[in-house]
Amino acid sequence: MLGKKDCKSNDFLLSFRFKMRIMEVTISGSSGFIGSAVLRKITSRGWTARIINRQSFEMPDDEFLEKKIEGADAVINLAGAPVIRRWTEEGKKEIVESRIATTRKIANAIGNAKVKPKVLISASATGIYDPVHEHTEESRELATGFLADLCRDWEKEAAAVAEITRVVVFRTGLVLGTGGGMLKRMETPFKVGLGAMIGNGKQAFSWIHLEDLVSAFVFAIEQEQVRGAVNAVAPYPTTNYHFTKTFGKVMMQPAFLRIPEFVLRMVYGEGAQTLTTGQKVLPRKLLQSGFSFLFPTVEKALVNLYK
């Protein structure tokens, strides 16, 4: 008969074996900036990956279910066309369909699977929140407009399977990493002293280092208490002004220029709001669940990436 000490030891071993066993993870959007980093993280742990690419979404439903979803331990859904662009009617349609239709196909397959994934982690964005208040996951001060409506509809598609599998929705801020994303567009101007803040620079800037974001995906797979909406942002949001000045210092270049909002509206039209507005968002759920950020401040993040 096992004593209490032996039982605790057994529980620890079972938990250890679960976390260390080879997981099978299905991932969509794996060719993108974030998705490729998540894929590298998964394979570095010895986990196996099933890839959902654009052609996969054209499969008949039964084939898609069998090859991509059935028996997977986890599904990570990152598919979606770029948002920072000019929002023409055709562009908006592509942005919406690349998120809503793909998430719906994944959710339907999970619903029909005999051996269902234990967790679905689906992407969303901090653009669901208004630019006025400070937001945790419990915030009810949501934004209006195209991007906020897109996030709500996107999350709703994932939540459709919340009763049959654990669903985590990552409301992700601006992702800082080299080789892609926002910083790829900004590197060259800042390197030659042409770094510029947007408008008056007072807009909130909620962000996360790519390495922390990738670790958060693994954390959400392994930690069963993590569910629902999760703010995937660093614990210390900043402003566009402070980010611009910090980036300039890291690059050892001045950053005193300013891009007027009307110039961005001329280039991006309605889509300029992704650059001219921001949300102050805090990662309460991740912190309460025990997640540890390697790069909690924008100073540490930028120094890591460029020094």
Q: What is the 3-state secondary structure (H, E, C) of the chain?
A: CCCHHHHHHHHHHHHHHHHHCCCEEEEECCCCHHHHHHHHHHHHCCCEEEEECCCHHHCCHHHHHHHHHCCCCEEEECCCCCCCCCCCHHHHHHHHHHHHHHHHHHHHHHHHCCCCCCEEEEEEEHHHECCCCEECCCCCCECCCHHHHHHHHHHHHHHCCCCCCEEEEEEECEEECCCCHHHHHHHHHHHCCCCEEECCCCCEECEEEHHHHHHHHHHHHHCCCCCEEEEECCCCCEEHHHHHHHHHHHCCCCCCEEECHHHHHHHHHHHHHHHHCCCEECCHHHHHCCCCCCCCCHHHHHHHHHC
Residues 6 or more apart from 9 whose CB is under 8 A from it? Answer: none
Which pLDDT belongs to residue 11?
Answer: 42
Q: Per residue in 193-217, pLDDT tens?
A: 999 999 999 999 999 999 999 999 9
Q: Which residue has the tokens 């998540």?
A: 38
Which pLDDT belongs to residue 275?
Answer: 87
Which pLDDT belongs to residue 21?
Answer: 67
Query: What is the pTM (predicted TM-score) of this model?
Result: 0.91
Which pLDDT belongs to residue 85?
Answer: 87
Which pLDDT belongs to residue 37?
Answer: 97
Q: Per residue in 139-190, pLDDT tens?
A: 999 999 999 999 999 999 999 999 999 999 999 999 999 988 889 989 999 9
In angstroms, rounded to a whole number, what is the distance separating the alpha carbons of residues 241 and 246?
Answer: 9
- Asked if 175 and 167 touch (Cβ cutoff 8 Å), the reply is no
Rg, C-alpha atoms of the chain: 20
Closest CA to 254 of 195, 213, 207: 195
Which pLDDT belongs to residue 5?
Answer: 44
In angstroms, rounded to a whole number, what is the distance separating the alpha carbons of residues 182 and 192?
Answer: 17
Which pLDDT belongs to residue 268?
Answer: 86
Which pLDDT belongs to residue 10?
Answer: 40
| Superfamily of 13-306 according to CATH | NAD(P)-binding Rossmann-like Domain (3.40.50.720)
Residue-range domain boundaries for the chain: 13-306
Ranges of the chain with pLDDT below 70 = 1-21
